[in-house]
Amino acid sequence: MNYRRLGRTGLLVSPLCLGTMNFGGITDEPTAFQIMDKALDAGINFFDTANVYGRQVAEGATETIVGNWFARDNANREKVVIATKVYGQMSDWPNMSRLSGVNIRRACEASLRRLQTDHIDLYQMHHIDRDAPWDEVWEAMEMLVAQGKVVYVGSSNFAGWHIAKANEAAKRRNFLGLVSEQSLYNLMARTVELEVLPACRDYGLGVIPWSPLAGGLLGGTSTEGVRRSGERQQKIIERNREKFDRYEKLCADIGEQPANVALAWLLSNDAVTAPIIGPRTMEQLDGALRVPDIELSDETLKTLDKIFPGPGGEAPEAYAW
């Protein structure tokens, strides 16, 4: 496994990040344990979760499963870079969501308890909170870092200007600021190429794409999961049938599974640190493990751009002179 630095930090993480969103809701705890065991054995040391994952089962259900896995073998915690998130609604009571100083500190303590650990390696803001001043946010994060409860801070679903504003505010406070951004990014969703990726490059943030397979569509439209998907997914397939046919033919021509091609395309971008894979089963994990060894040719990359064109480059040249 060729590990990568997370943005401008010295932290080394695997080029695939194990997403745990399915743990608890779709994947039961014993299977989740098997997936985490196999991922770690394969060299994946970067796990992503969030306080709101698994809430259809119980509050913090996914973090609890990950914490139980850590508790089963303390060596696992030392090997894993654990990332979790704060922002989501955990209760109807006031101050139990978003990015007030009160909620950041409360949510961190709750995540630590569920994860059964004394620190979070990467604490990510799950969304921008337009009502929370950056001085308030950074004061709370600085306190958690000073207490040893958080090591690095990241963002998720931020616009480019949010990243700039956040890191300029951190710079004024002599604080490290954001080191990563977790964004929606895949062959079918390339809006972040306009301003988010340029901001991340400029400020030294590692990009962690979520939904790298576009909800499974880039894994092959004939797969069982896609065939059983809802009406919305089926409409997307029908609107883009010609594109999917060309894409799946290209994948067949180069002898690679569609899901692996979509992940390898992301890893070919130097702004990307690690796409998040969210296996529901051991078979899905096994299929993704060879992705870091796949090198797509320049010709293949150009063909993918023709099939799924991006916004035209960075802003403003993408839409102006």
- Domains of the chain in start order, with CATH, are 4-307 (3.20.20.100)
CA distances, 274 to each of 4, 7, 207, 258, 298 (Å): 8, 11, 7, 18, 21
Q: What is the pLDDT of residue 227?
A: 64
3-state secondary structure of 306: helix
Given the residues 53, 123, 152, 203, the one annotated as active site: 53
Q: What is the pLDDT of residue 291?
A: 97
Q: What is the pLDDT of residue 264?
A: 98
3-state secondary structure of 234: helix
Q: What is the pLDDT of residue 244?
A: 96
Active-site residue flag, 87? no
Q: How far is residue 45's CA from residue 12's CA, in Å, rounded to a whole number?
A: 9
**Half-sphere exposure for 157 (CA within 13 Å, toward CB):** 11
Do you know the residue count of the chain? 321
Per-residue pLDDT of the chain (321 residues; tens, 9 = 90+): 899 999 999 999 999 999 999 999 999 999 999 999 999 999 999 999 999 999 999 999 999 999 999 999 999 999 999 999 999 999 999 999 999 999 999 999 999 999 999 999 999 999 999 999 999 999 999 999 999 999 999 999 999 999 999 999 999 999 999 999 999 999 999 999 999 999 999 999 999 999 999 999 999 987 766 766 778 888 999 999 999 999 999 999 999 999 999 999 999 999 999 999 999 889 989 989 999 999 999 999 999 999 999 999 999 999 999
Residues 6+ apart with CB under 8 A from 18: 35, 36, 39, 44, 46, 47, 48, 276, 277, 279
Residue 52 contacts residue 88 (beta carbons within 8 Å): yes
3-state secondary structure of 277: strand
Q: What is the pLDDT of residue 228?
A: 66
Which position has the token pair 């060729």? 2
Strands of the sheet with 206-210, listed across from one edge = 206-210, 178-184, 150-156, 120-125, 81-86, 46-48, 17-19, 276-277
CA angle 10, 11, 13 (to 5 degrees): 140
Q: What is the pLDDT of residue 232?
A: 86
The β-bridge partners of 12 are 5
